[in-house]
Structure 1
Amino acid sequence: MAQNRYVVAGGGRVGLQTAENLAEQGHDVVLIESDGERVEELSEAYLGPVIHGDATRPSVLKQADLDNADAIAALTNETGANLAICMEAQQVAPDIRTLARAETRAEQEYDEVVDATLLPQSLGGDHAADMLTGEDIQTLVYPTAELDIIELAVAESASVAGRRLDEIALPEGSLLISPADRKELAGPETVLEATERYILAVESDVVDEVINLFRA
């Protein structure tokens, strides 16, 4: 896997988990956190660089060297601040990819502000890392706390690749709805082709299990 550089704004649970997952994958990650006490905690919990500052300020973002970053994830607990961080980041580095944590998806204009949106009640730091690195999960409809509608690609090495749906034991609480082109509903005879994408309804407590099934 190629090494990329990511900036994570917000050193709470989701931000820290995202940074740790990206670092474990071999990427270069910089955390930005505005709370001084939390910065001290992060210095013990996280081995990577941590910038103490308000990520909505251009001067702080420039300290993170956005021009050499592949993406920024704004993962504070305030939707407005996260959108502002992403907008400011695009002013500093126009080509940077942006991911914002949001508590609701009621306003469609988010799509015009950021490249992707994370709803952390059901998608945490591990999924944020996947979205940043361009992995095979995409959330299509932002869910209740119990249900996600997601799009997944079948990895070439996955055990489900090349098999009919009625031959696959999907976890209880998950349902394969259709191929990603949405031309037809999936049925028992649907074959899951390697590298193709599929839409699923998944209860939040089995999301990781379903993702792993499509990957390995």
Structure 2
Amino acid sequence: MTRPKRFVIAGGGRVGLQAAENLTDRGHDVVLIEVDGERVEALSDAYLGPVIHGDATRASILRQADLAGADAIAALTDETETNMEICMTAHHLSPSIRTLARSEARSEEGRDEVVDATLIPTSLGGDHAADMLTGEGIRTLVFPTAELDIIEVTVTESAPVAGRRLEEVALPTGSLLISTADREALAGPGTMLEPSERYILAVESDVVDEVVKLFRG
């Protein structure tokens, strides 16, 4: 059995809450950090884990979250610069911790050392953040434009597309299955979408959630 992991989530808004719920549903431990007092009360009432009231860009607040005992930290506020600053502070306090930042663009040159992964576009939800934190199911390979991503997704057993041929699946407009993850051949109508197999797709940002739900359930 895989051991439970421990994650620190900075930002308790829609994405942060969704990520925390997803992670706890998988049996992992979560510590939330939120600067807004009203949100802190709401998060506490959700009983997902300890909630720290404070600014996660401050080292004193991050120390309360015990970064040394965490597998990763996700900075999921609505502000890209705030998220980058959180990751930089976390890296300074605990250089080995894995960091994820919600961002409008890839991390700038010079920040790659402190931001291991970025959640782009910011419209992606907390479920995708949870997948990225745990290393399960989905990763973005290329960001050709602000509106188009090339993603790699693993089909789950319960996914709507599992066990079906591509010609039997109604992919949303704005998405294209390119190939299986081994890149041996381009996908065609007869391509079988097998559970536990990985597939590469080109997806416009406004249909990413819809596509991932088809492949992940």
User: Which TM-score bucket, shorter chain as reference?
Assistant: 0.7 to 0.9
Superimposed CA distance per residue, residues 70-101 of structure 1 (whole angstroms, 9 cap, x where no aligned partner)? 11001122222211211221222222211001
Q: 1:215 and 1:17 mapped to 2: Cα distance?
A: 16
Shift of 1:184: 4.3
Corresponding residue of 2:188: 187
Corresponding residue of 2:93: 92
Shift of 1:197: 2.4
Q: 2:95 and 2:125 mapped to 1: Cα distance?
A: 26
Q: 1:166 and 1:65 mapped to 2: Cα distance?
A: 49
Which letter maps to 2:105?
T
Shift of 1:17: 1.6
TM score, norm. by length of structure 1? 0.81
Corresponding residue of 2:83: 82
TM score, norm. by length of structure 2? 0.81
Which letter maps to 2:115?
V
User: After the TM superposition, which of the residue ranges 139-148 and 112-121 deviates more from structure 2?
Assistant: 139-148
Q: Does the 8 Å contact 1:122/1:146 carry over to 2?
A: no
Superimposed CA distance per residue, residues 162-210 of structure 1 (whole angstroms, 9 cap, x where no aligned partner)? 7654455545543101233545432334444554422112345654443
Relative distance call for 1:161 and 1:90 in structure 2 (3 A) is: same
Corresponding residue of 2:153: 152
Which letter maps to 2:57?
T
Identical positions, percent? 74
Corresponding residue of 2:127: 126
User: After the TM superposition, which of the residue ranges 153-162 and 76-85 deviates more from structure 2?
Assistant: 153-162
Relative distance call for 1:183 and 1:117 in structure 2 (3 A) is: same
Shift of 1:149: 2.5
Q: 1:111 and 1:62 mapped to 2: Cα distance?
A: 22
For the aligned residue pairs, the C-alpha RMSD in angstroms reads: 3.0
SS of corresponding position for 1:42 = helix
Shift of 1:133: 1.3
Equivalenced residue count is 216
Relative distance call for 1:204 and 1:103 in structure 2 (3 A) is: closer
Shift of 1:122: 2.8
Q: Does the 8 Å contact 1:16/1:46 carry over to 2?
A: no
Q: 1:13 and 1:89 mapped to 2: Cα distance?
A: 22
